[in-house]
Amino acid sequence: MSCLGERLTALVDGELGHEERDRALAHLAGCAQCRNEVASLRLIKGRLRGLSDTPAVDAADDLPSDDFLTRLRSLPASAGPPPGGVPPGPPPGPPAGTPGRHPRRPLRSSTRAARTPSAVRPRDNRPAGHAGALQIQPRRRYLVVGAATLFIGLGTASYAAGGRQEAPDVTPAFDRFAVEHALTAGDAPMTDPLTDPLNRVTVSPGP
Amino acid sequence: MTARTLIGRGRRRSVLACGLAGALALAAALAGDPAQVRRVRSDPGAVALLRAAAYAAGRVPYQGRRFLTTASRNRSTTSRVTVVHIPGDGIRYRSGTAGKGYRPESAAGDTTGFTSATLSLLTSNYSVVRAADSSVCGRHARVVEARRADGSAAGRFWIDSETGLMLHRELIDATGHRVVVTGFSEISFTAPPAEPVTLGGARGGLARFPGTASGEPVDGAGGSGGTARWGDELDRADLEGLRDRGWPVPRDLPGRLTLHDARREPGGGAVHLSYSDGLAAVSVFVQRGTLDEHALDGWQKTVKHGRTVFRRESLRRWAVSEGEGYVFTVLTDAPQSTAVSVAAHLPRDADPFWSRVARGARRLASTANPFD
């Protein structure tokens, strides 16, 4: 552990005030251990910045965070190669000792990530489900759009096909119906006077 | 040993006490409201009389005159026919100028108006009991009454005590008026000589109507010539098939009317649906097509529940309506209001948009279905 503690990190990140920086530099001049630590921190920072150099060219300000970027870069090959095609070997970058000269943005968070060995993850340690989840969204959208199109299409086709066709005009066969009904009801299977005016029927005022 | 005996006695006592309490509760329930018990129960003897009447109708030879009177509030109409029954030869009817009618022997039992299906509907909707004996056509008759839940009579049947033949039956509306009366005005039980076969002699009757030659029960010259009803009886699977194809075949209609028989005209024409509550017979004839209103000159056009119903009162009550590409003809002996309400209740084009879409979907499905 260095003598300067957190201030050492702040020095590397260029966040110390003028006086504090002078004091820290004065300490570094006399403390070899702290010098070594600063050197290693700057080396890490430089490497990380080298990682983010390629996408940062066009959309540096749009990147959500370097941490997220790192995770995206470590996606498996099935998700498609990263736009920049970073080789798996040691990343190119400015040599150690030169970080902070063109700090586009503070890389403090990346130095924190350096505390864990998983900051630069191997490409295949990501659960495959995440890639599937990323791909499901467009699939589901296609499914929904397809189903809606099918539904609307079938509905329209049904409406078009359901136009009332010229059904035949029907005149009920009252005579046959009367006989058929009488057979059911247990009466004489004779025509109803409605259909046979010759049938003698007495009509009288009711009770 | 003694303890076990004591326990055994205790159990026996408790079982005895429980049984006694149950019997008392049952007795109290039975004695509490005898009218209620009568309402839900039919007299088995009375039901057996009706069943025996259907059997006797096919077994007893007779000749005489029958009448059918339908009455409404302001008018009554009567039709009279001469009738001869020779067991094994069927029943022959003759009516003045209307020609002849014939009912084959197999359907002779239906002259009571009861089949096993309608009899079970009768006992489930009404309480069937015996009433005081009476006399009809100069003969001693046992009287059976069908009563509503309030105890009023809805139907009355006179059954000859000697032969078991049903001589008379009447339907009574809720206000106590007789709406349908049918039976014999004269009867004798001497076997008449078999009628000589005559060919095509009748003037009038159904012979004048085209298309009635197939399976006609009327004008049957020669006993074997006539068949009873439309032969193509539809079973449950047939009805389901019809429903799947969009035919409106309701199981129940307003007024506790239940579908108990369905037949189709030979050649796949109209479907005859028979409904009954046990007493009143209502026939609904369903045909595919649209109604030709020009054929209904002289019919009264009424609107019930926003639906056009054509009605006409003759000997029987008719009501005609249409909906969803089908024409319904309702025919009943019961009061006109029954016919009209049934005709108005049958399916109609409730929602033109959705019914059109449904119809179109059906057509598309039937086009795409290779097995259809």
Helix (H) or strand (E) holding B259: strand B257-264
**B45 min Cα distance to partner chain A (Å):** 22
- Summarised one tens digit per residue, pLDDT across range A29-79 is 888 888 998 899 889 888 888 876 655 445 445 555 667 667 767 766 544
Q: What's the pLDDT at B15?
A: 63
Give yes or no for a contact between A21 and A15, defined as CB atoms under 8 angstroms apart.
no
Q: Which chain B residue lies closest to A163 (C-alpha atoms)? A: B356
Q: Do B288 and A167 touch (CB under 8 A)?
A: yes
Consecutive 10-residue runs of chain B (372 residues): their mean pLDDT? Answer: 52 65 54 45 90 88 91 85 87 76 76 83 92 92 93 93 92 91 90 55 34 36 45 84 87 91 84 92 91 85 87 89 88 87 80 74 82 68
The pLDDT score that the predictor gives to residue B25 is: 56
Q: What is the structure's pLDDT at B4?
A: 53
Q: Give the dihedral sign, CA A20/A21/A26/A28.
A: positive
Task: Say if the Cβ atoms of B71 and A207 lie within 8 Å.
Answer: yes
A186 CB neighbours in chain B (<8 A) are 110-114, 182, 281
By Cβ distance, the residue of A162, A178, A179 closest to B359 is: A162
- Pair B182, B71: CB distance under 8 Å: no
Of the candidates B33, B61, B71, the residue with the CA atom closest to the CA atom of residue B192:
B61
Distance from CA of B78 to the nearest CA of A (A): 6
Q: With cut-offs at 50, 70 and 90, classify the pLDDT of residue A108.
A: very low
Q: How far is B150 from chain A (nearest CA, A)?
A: 24
What is the complex's ipTM, to 2 decimals? 0.75
Can you give the pLDDT at residue B133? 92
Q: Residue B48 has what pLDDT? A: 93
Dig out the tokens for A144 from the structure: 């929904």
For residues B51 and B45, what is the distance between their CA atoms, to the nearest angstrom?
10
Is B232 in CB contact (< 8 Å) with chain A? Answer: no
Identify which of B320, B363, B364 has the shortest CB distance to residue A172: B320
Q: What is the CA radius of gyration of chain B?
A: 26
H or E element at residue A20: helix A18-30
A137-158 exposure pattern, b = at least 16 Cβ within 10 A, e = fewer: eeeeeeeeeeeeeeeeeeeeeb
Number of C-beta neighbours around residue A41 at 10 A = 20
CB-CB neighbors (< 8 A) of B270 in chain A: 172-173, 177
Instruction: Give yes or no for a contact between B64 and A184, defined as CB atoms under 8 angstroms apart.
Output: no
